[in-house]
């Protein structure tokens, strides 16, 4: 039986497992608490950190890690490197979810998988270091590692509609600012395609076809709701927390050609327009 172990079973892992479970896969997922939520979704829960993953890794055929690095590095590698190394020979696929933040700022220019990593934020540097640590581990036991650099994730429950409705949304204007983004279901498509066509050592940018200024997305979401666009606020005057401000510190457009040519992926939501419309339609049908 194909068995996926998801380390850090969150939003993206849930989207993938919703595809795999109907195909007869067994899924083991780690959680910090509330294992009942995983059980209700048909997933076997493991409390982690706390429970060593050696047993789960011994039963897994595939592994997906979506745990972000902390101040001391990647917590999965810190706790489970030995178990991962021992499991390497029988694993068919290992995926690590990274971020396009590893590329740093390119002044709105284009980047692809061959672009040197020049992260300018502490989060980006931590991700680049984590990628390097995973690749270093993969060299020793022959771990079949695949790295996925994700753009900004949106989808059901992660769209700007509620903020627009309640009046808390703003259009923050920073001339020249460009972001790439990706619908969570398209991430699941890319991961499933990679699982079906393993290529150890591969790196994939996972984003849609239309990098855009963030205010364009908010304006379009408001249009879908039939509401006026939220107020425009110059970036210099916006009161943003450190996390939000760090996103505006870097501007780039991310190419996704490789997932199309190497994996044959066709995005269901090639731009935010199709993606937001689908999210709103799903909300309205509940």
pLDDT at 84: 97
On whether residue 12 sits in a domain, the answer given is yes
CATH label of the domain that carries residue 54:
3.40.50.720
Tokens of residue 97, six digits = 């979810």
- Its pTM surpasses 0.75: yes
49 vs 67: CA distance, rounded Å: 11
Write out pLDDT tens, residues 6-47: 999 999 999 999 999 999 999 999 999 889 999 999 999 999
Instruction: State pLDDT tens for residues 66-80.
Output: 999 988 899 999 999
Helices (H) and strands (E) in the chain, counts: 11, 13
**Domain hosting residue 21, numbered range:** 3-155+182-208+253-269
49: preceding bond cis by omega (within 30 degrees): yes
| 197 within a domain of the structure (yes/no) | yes
Would 264 be classed as within a structural domain?
yes
Number of domains in the chain: 1
**Cβ(68)–Cβ(120) under 8 Å?**
no
Residue 40 and residue 258: Cα distance in Å, rounded?
36
Residue 143 lies in a domain: yes
Q: Is residue 244 scored above 90 in pLDDT?
A: no
Domain assignment of residue 90, yes or no: yes
Examine residue 223 and state whether it is found in any structural domain, yes or no: no
Answer whether residue 191 is part of any domain: yes
Q: Quick check: is 221 in a domain?
A: no
């Amino acid at each position: 039986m194909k068995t996926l172990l998801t380390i850090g079973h969150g939003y993206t892992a849930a989207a993938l497992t919703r595809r795999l479970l109907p195909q007869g896969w067994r899924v083991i997922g780690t959680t910090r608490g509330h294992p009942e939520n995983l059980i209700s979704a048909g997933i076997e829960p493991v409390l982690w950190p706390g429970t060593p993953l050696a047993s789960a890794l011994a039963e897994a055929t595939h592994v997906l890690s979506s745990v972000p690095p902390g101040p001391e590095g990647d917590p999965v590698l810190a706790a489970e490197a030995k178990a991962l190394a021992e499991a390497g020979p029988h694993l068919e696929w290992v995926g690590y979810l990274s971020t396009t933040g590893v590329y740093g700022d390119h002044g709105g220019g284009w980047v692809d998988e061959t672009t040197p990593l020049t992260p300018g934020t502490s989060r980006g540097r931590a991700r680049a270091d984590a990628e390097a640590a995973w690749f270093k581990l993969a060299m020793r036991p022959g771990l079949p590692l695949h790295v996925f650099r994700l753009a900004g994730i949106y989808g059901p429950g992660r769209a700007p509609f509620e903020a627009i409705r309640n009046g808390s949304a703003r259009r923050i204007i920073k001339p020249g600012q460009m972001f790439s983004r990706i619908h969570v279901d398209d991430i699941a498509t890319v991961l499933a395609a990679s699982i079906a066509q393993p290529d150890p050592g591969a790196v994939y940018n996972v984003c849609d076809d239309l990098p855009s200024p963030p205010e364009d997305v908010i304006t379009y979401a408001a249009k879908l709701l039939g509401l006026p666009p939220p107020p425009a606020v110059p970036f210099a005057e916006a009161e943003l927390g450190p996390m939000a401000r760090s996103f505006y510190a870097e501007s780039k457009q991310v190419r996704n050609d490789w997932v199309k040519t190497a994996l044959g992926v066709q995005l269901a939501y090639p731009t935010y327009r199709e993606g937001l419309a689908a999210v709103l339609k799903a909300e309205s049908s509940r």
